[in-house]
Amino acid sequence: MKSLFYRMLCIVAMLILTSWGFFAHKKINHYAVFALPAQLAKFYKSNIDIITEKAVDPDKRCFTDSAEGPRHFIDLEDYRKESTVDSMPIHWSQAKEKFQERQLLKNGIVPWQINLTYQKLVKAFQAKDYKRIIKHSAELGHYIADAHVPLHTTKNYNGQLTNQLGIHAFWESRLPEMFSEKYNLRVGKANYIKDPLAEAWGIVRESNRLVDSVLSIEARLNRQFKASQKKSFIERNNQLVWTYSDSYARAYHEAMNGMVERRMQKTILRVASYWYSAWLESGQPDLTNIEKIKSSDKQDHIDITG
């Protein structure tokens, strides 16, 4: 069911031509480039446009790859029932021994997907394969960003269990689009991540601790606002879209006291840190002689095979 939700979310996004979620993913990858050290930043800056654009490729793959959905989330409640969320083995092979692979896929695999994509990036650096460096950098940024969204770590991913249907896109899409221009997204410099898999698990646990606040704050506002004030038509790409009103979005954003901005800031720094760590782990290859990706290569078909 949840994989279907993410697939439908992708379809709806494409139907309105440009997803609000796409907006945040692109902005995160863009700003992550500026958190890289100079010796790595040159290559990324010369290819910043394509790294930014390809940030949304994992969502686009929802159309063609039925296995894509679980890579974007993890339902931690299913493990907490058994008091195993903090003690469960984080390595995939060990997790499969304790839980059936089918259950792991059903509950989502985003922390493992982050680590898998990171390892692919390490290999791309080692090979000095600039197309794969760009591909895996962009997609790694996407999965890391998803892991920072609280509602990507819960069964109640769209408020469907608490009569808050639609809160998923509200939090991760509408709010960043409305308010991110005022965010401070210059986050300092990337740092080395010693254990990428443990870091990924730390991210999803950190996000999951915010789920109650995300839901309870919106529920409180819902009781305070009249139904006629909560939603309205807004113009989006020359279309009228029925969604949360500006006043309701502003109240929700203020009530969360900077949560969305902080999650974006942490995402940007960690995306840059994963890129930097992959480069270090690969032996710090010299990328100065790798050409900027040609405009003719900027299509989705470049290196789609992993």
Burial class (CB in 10 A: 0-12, 13-18, 19+), 46: middle
Domain of residue 65, CATH code = 1.10.575.10
Q: Is the residue at 299 inside a domain?
A: no
Task: Report the range of poorest mean pLDDT among 12-26, 93-107, 162-176.
Answer: 12-26
Within-domain flag for 195: yes
Q: Read off the pLDDT of residues 28-57 as tens digits, 9 standing for 90 and up.
A: 999 999 999 999 999 999 999 999 999 999
Is residue 105 assigned to a domain?
yes
305 inside domain = no
Residue 223, domain member (yes or no) = yes
* Token duo for residue 178: 């409305």
Does a structural domain hold residue 297? no
| Radius of gyration from C-alpha coordinates of the chain | 19
Instruction: Please count the structural domains in the chain.
Output: 1
pLDDT of residue 99: 87
Q: Which H or E run includes 277?
A: helix 259-281
Q: In the chain, where do the E strands start and end?
A: 231-236, 239-244
Confirm whether 86 is domain-assigned. Answer: yes
What pLDDT, on a 0 to 100 scale, did the predictor assign at position 162? 98
**Which domain does 269 fall in, by range?**
2-292
pLDDT tens for 256-306 read 999 999 999 999 999 999 999 999 999 999 998 775 665 445 544 444 445
- Does any domain span residue 160? yes
